Chain A
Amino acid sequence: MGLAKRIIPCLDVDNGRVVKGVQFVDIRDAGDPVEVAKRYNEQGADEITFLDITASSDDRETTVHMVEAIAAEVFIPLTVGGGIRTCEDIRRMLNAGADKVSINTAAIFNPDFVREAAERFGSQCIVVAIDAKKVSGEGEPDRWEIFTHGGRKPTGIDAVEWAVKMVDLGAGEILLTSMDRDGMKNGFDLGVTRAISEAVHVPVIASGGVGNLQHLVDGVTEGKADAVLAASIFHFGEYSIQEAKETMQAAGIEMRL
């Protein structure tokens, strides 16, 4: 008996539709967010993450309504991210029915925002999203850096040090995306996942690169992740959440079946 590892399907939402692209290009439509969320809820997802990838101010109102519609029918935790920049943004999302918000770029430009948010709303609802890419060359010690703008802009910030700093400021969870893997279907970057998971005392969600169910198993057993996030393998019906859970359980991982 013990705490189960979590499977989190992720809804990247653009203009009111769930989409999935390869490294943020070549976008494919994957359906209506409310319908998709309901389907995952019924399949036994442990949590749902909703990322507003357009995040322009025009779309913000649409996102709030969508979160309300999902929260009215889906009784599992819901995390909302994309364009969260102020405490007012957080308050609106929590009032709409989100349980946690994910802060990404705003944390880089103003790390103190994470402290302010955690003090005001509690660490349990503040997730810091980290987009990391390996920058060390062949033969060098492994090193990963934070990237912004969908993985195009380096910041010079060390990913592991950044994760530790975010937790010190009050982040209650880390959503780690390996940008060089995102949409590539060749598995998580297990090195950075493990390095960050072992460096912080809060849960780490591994994201970016899942192409098959063994990748989910590896994220937990080798990457030491507390939860695994995936999108396209679930959106396009390659695997169901239930199949993913059964595979992970068969590999000796404690799951909620």
Chain B
Amino acid sequence: MSTQTKSTVAVIDYGMGNLHSVAKALEHVADENTEIVVSSDPAVIDAADRVLLPGVGAIRDCIAEMKAQGLIPVIQKAMAEKPFLAICVGIQSLMAHSEENGGVDCLNHFEGNALFFGNNHKDVDGTKLKVPHMGWNQVKQTMKHPLWEGIEDGARFYFVHSYYIVASNKEEVAGTCNYGHDFCVALARDNVFAVQFHPEKSHKDGLQLYKNFIHWDGKP
């Protein structure tokens, strides 16, 4: 029998989007000592060893739900003290502000904003680019980080988003992508890592990132 104690990853359920696929992907890479819990209970989230903030949908509802369910203090506490991973709308919710829904103030963990690609987005050569940015794009790793372990620089991840991050502190940018222009798709500071793409939908490389997160000690 293993003497190792169970470690818990809490997936924050704030009533938005598809938590099923995030939880399934984590379970797929978890070993017998890791338990995945999907919860909206602040006490459960607070007791977890690692916290994942998923995100699908619009930012206004996302922030409103976090507030309505009293989750903001526990999210902020988790970001101050344990390995924390935010995904898609999750990363946008950590910025200061988003242009979506006529403008929404967010949690301001990272300095910078989420801006709209626009419905007339173009590539450098003038060709029209579809919005949302939907599909598999290459991620350039702009810093060495434990969550990139075992993932090739330039690997493709699955994206679905119409708003993109502009980070004020370039030294916090962990990854970039190009769609008409270069933009930030991963941010890292201390024990917090956040990505714009969906690891749970990004096949082997996405599963590797989740595996890295499950074993991450929160040190950059």
Residue A227 at the chain B interface, CB threshold 8 Å: yes
In the complex, which residue of chain B has the Cβ closest to the Cβ of A121?
B57
The interface residues of chain A lying within 8 Å CB-to-CB of B161 are 124
The interface residues of chain B lying within 8 Å CB-to-CB of A198 are 128
Shortest beta-carbon distance from B23 to chain A in Å: 10
Size of B's binding interface in residues, CB under 8 A? 41
Show 11 residue pairs from A and B whose CB-CB distance is below 8 angstroms, ordered by the A residue. Answer: A6-B136, A72-B24, A75-B200, A75-B201, A94-B18, A95-B18, A99-B18, A124-B161, A124-B162, A201-B130, A204-B130
Q: How distant is the Cα of A95 from the Cα of B57 in the complex, in angstroms?
A: 14
Q: How distant is the Cα of A72 from the Cα of B23 in the complex, in angstroms?
A: 10
Residue A134 at the chain B interface, CB threshold 8 Å: no
Q: How distant is the Cα of A82 from the Cα of B123 in the complex, in angstroms?
A: 35
The interface residues of chain A lying within 8 Å CB-to-CB of B17 are 94, 122
Whether A173 and B134, one on each chain, are in contact in the complex, defined by CB atoms closer than 8 angstroms, is yes
Q: How distant is the Cα of A122 from the Cα of B92 in the complex, in angstroms?
A: 15
Shortest beta-carbon distance from B155 to chain A in Å: 9
Pick from B17, B121, B202, B203 the residue with the most CB of A within 10 Å.
Answer: B203
Residue A46 at the chain B interface, CB threshold 8 Å: yes
Whether B138 and A124, one on each chain, are in contact in the complex, defined by CB atoms closer than 8 angstroms, is no
Whether B206 and A75, one on each chain, are in contact in the complex, defined by CB atoms closer than 8 angstroms, is yes
Residue A4 at the chain B interface, CB threshold 8 Å: yes
Q: How distant is the Cα of A189 from the Cα of B167 in the complex, in angstroms?
A: 43
Partner of B138, one of A1, A72, A77, A99: A1
In the complex, per-residue mask of B195-207: 1 if CB is within 8 Å of any chain A CB, else 0:
0000011110011
Pick from B58, B136, B137 the residue with the most CB of A within 10 Å.
Answer: B136
Q: How distant is the Cα of A2 from the Cα of B121 in the complex, in angstroms?
A: 14
Q: How distant is the Cα of A121 from the Cα of B57 in the complex, in angstroms?
A: 6
Q: How distant is the Cα of A202 from the Cα of B129 in the complex, in angstroms?
A: 9
Whether B24 and A123, one on each chain, are in contact in the complex, defined by CB atoms closer than 8 angstroms, is no
